[in-house]
Structure 1
């Protein structure tokens, strides 16, 4: 009996800009998203119906889980699939701005496509991912990408050179919906230079890539959760020069050109706080092409 094991990689936002509110209630965004090496391990086996097991006590095991919804989409579309058993080995923190739920859903789509030989191409997978959530299409495509619309319109861009990422997450989660609802567009004093960042990716200008990361959702999250702003200021005081909140937060990441610098900074952070700390690195397309194992 076949099974699929998929590495479901986390993401960070190198650029996150909000352009306005759409008639459908969502916000119009432009983002440069980047896959990183922190991942959940998703194991999928044939079964009856849909069942989920996990090592994390707070993950829902029913249709509230995006991974469950992803399986449901494909089972409805392909009636020959009797069902699946999904195990989620959770390493990406929940409600952290790292697409932990979205990447698990993407992994289920990718894994079921491979395991059941559905022969869906990337465009077909992206269409189904967009039904589930704004970040799911990026998590299917991975590497470095430009996201527009509500985040579901994805375009591959020049890959980011290998950079090292220190992730620091406070001991609470943030609801994305709340952050967007409280975002006052008039309070955004400056917007990221998206075109400049895309140019820097094209030529591999590492100093620019480190110095010009930007996320306008900080305006909202910092107001709702002042301790996230305090965390960013504390990390800056420890010597990090390239700091940003990922997504809607509360995770703050520091970006480095070398593993040595990242490891040293992570060690300093761990000495001074009780928050969760991870060291990861950016991923390229070649690694992502090898994320599925069928046995």
Structure 2
């Protein structure tokens, strides 16, 4: 039996640079892993089976971790199996990468369970077939992401930041968000400079001015509740606040855990998570 942790991520800055010939969009962002995580238990079995705790109402064949297991199984040309139990803590469909992280942790864990260390070299290729951000979660560490999100440049470690995540539980279609952003292209920037942000000490004012999320321009007008959450994060003492991914979760950086815990009480009707940015990449 193997136990893996599948960590969440937040986007610090997210700029969409245009649509590519393959139909995907080029982006520029900083992926920041946080300590919030799902727990995955992988056990030997005759076939591939996925169990979610709690159930998300997703068919097994549509579960990204299940698809990851089937892809790896096909690549290895083996008839091995595994029982995969995922205990969810990362809110589903929130822009925190929970499904992608579960898939990546499943790939890494199955390589260990099935004693296939040579397959690890091919995991980035398999991961990209599952989703644009799945390669990041194979070894989540602070990184500047380009391309579809799969071209990763590791960044110097940053001091841990205390984070409050607010998850309102609103489903936002990623395809819809990208489609809307295309019609609001004037809100995008030609290049994101977040790769320099964590290389040295910078002010929070600089972070707020440079590291903007393009999707806020199209998501907030339709869901003004999200804009109010961001305003409340700042009113509660956040030094920086943003939508993560296409949402609907938002987060704020706070000076201390105590500040973040106090701010969480300002959101009694939402799921909140007080966590930290992750510096240990083991």
- 2:19 is the counterpart of 1:21: yes
Q: In structure 1, how many angstroms separate the alpha carbons of the residues matched to 2:157 and 2:59? A: 35
Match of 2:277 in 1: 282
Name the SS for the 2:181 alignment partner: coil
Match of 1:240 in 2: 238
Residue 190 of structure 1, CA deviation: 5.7
Do the aligned partners of residues 10 and 206 (structure 1) sit closer, same or farther apart at CA in structure 2, a change above 3 Å counting? farther
Instruction: Indicate if the aligned counterparts of 1:166 and 1:255 stay in contact, CA closer than 8 A.
Output: yes
Do the aligned partners of residues 154 and 67 (structure 1) sit closer, same or farther apart at CA in structure 2, a change above 3 Å counting? same
- 1:170-212: per-residue Cα shift (whole Å, max 9, x none)? 13222212211211354444638733x3223122436467544
Name the SS for the 1:182 alignment partner: helix
Structure 1 residues 7-46: aligned runs within 5 Å: 7-46=5-44
Residue 122 of structure 1, CA deviation: 5.8
Please point out which of 173, 180, 187 is paired with 1:175: 173
Instruction: Indicate if the aligned counterparts of 1:179 and 1:220 stay in contact, CA closer than 8 A.
Output: yes
Match of 2:256 in 1: 258
- 2:198 is the counterpart of 1:205: no
Q: In structure 2, how many angstroms separate the alpha carbons of the residues matched to 1:65 and 1:173? A: 17
Instruction: Indicate if the aligned counterparts of 1:146 and 1:157 stay in contact, CA closer than 8 A.
Output: yes
- 1:213-245: per-residue Cα shift (whole Å, max 9, x none)? 321111121133222122222333334341100
Instruction: Indicate if the aligned counterparts of 2:28 and 2:191 stay in contact, CA closer than 8 A.
Output: no
Instruction: Indicate if the aligned counterparts of 1:12 and 1:35 stay in contact, CA closer than 8 A.
Output: yes
Match of 2:73 in 1: 75
Instruction: Indicate if the aligned counterparts of 2:197 and 2:207 stay in contact, CA closer than 8 A.
Output: no
Q: In structure 2, how many angstroms separate the alpha carbons of the residues matched to 1:206 and 1:193? A: 20
Do the aligned partners of residues 24 and 193 (structure 1) sit closer, same or farther apart at CA in structure 2, a change above 3 Å counting? closer
Match of 1:293 in 2: none
Structure 1 residues 128-167: aligned runs within 5 Å: 128-167=126-165
Name the SS for the 2:42 alignment partner: strand
What RMSD over aligned residues (CA atoms) do the two structures have, in Å?
2.1
When the two structures are superposed, what TM-score results if normalisation uses the length of structure 1?
0.88
Do the aligned partners of residues 246 and 5 (structure 1) sit closer, same or farther apart at CA in structure 2, a change above 3 Å counting? same
Instruction: Indicate if the aligned counterparts of 2:111 and 2:119 stay in contact, CA closer than 8 A.
Output: no
Do the aligned partners of residues 136 and 76 (structure 1) sit closer, same or farther apart at CA in structure 2, a change above 3 Å counting? same
Q: In structure 2, how many angstroms separate the alpha carbons of the residues matched to 1:62 and 1:208? A: 45
Structure 2: gaps spanning 5 or more residues: none
Structure 1: gaps spanning 5 or more residues: 290-295
Worse overlay, 118-127 or 96-105 = 118-127
Q: In structure 2, how many angstroms separate the alpha carbons of the residues matched to 1:144 and 1:257? A: 20
Q: In structure 2, how many angstroms separate the alpha carbons of the residues matched to 1:165 and 1:192? A: 28
Do the aligned partners of residues 120 and 113 (structure 1) sit closer, same or farther apart at CA in structure 2, a change above 3 Å counting? same
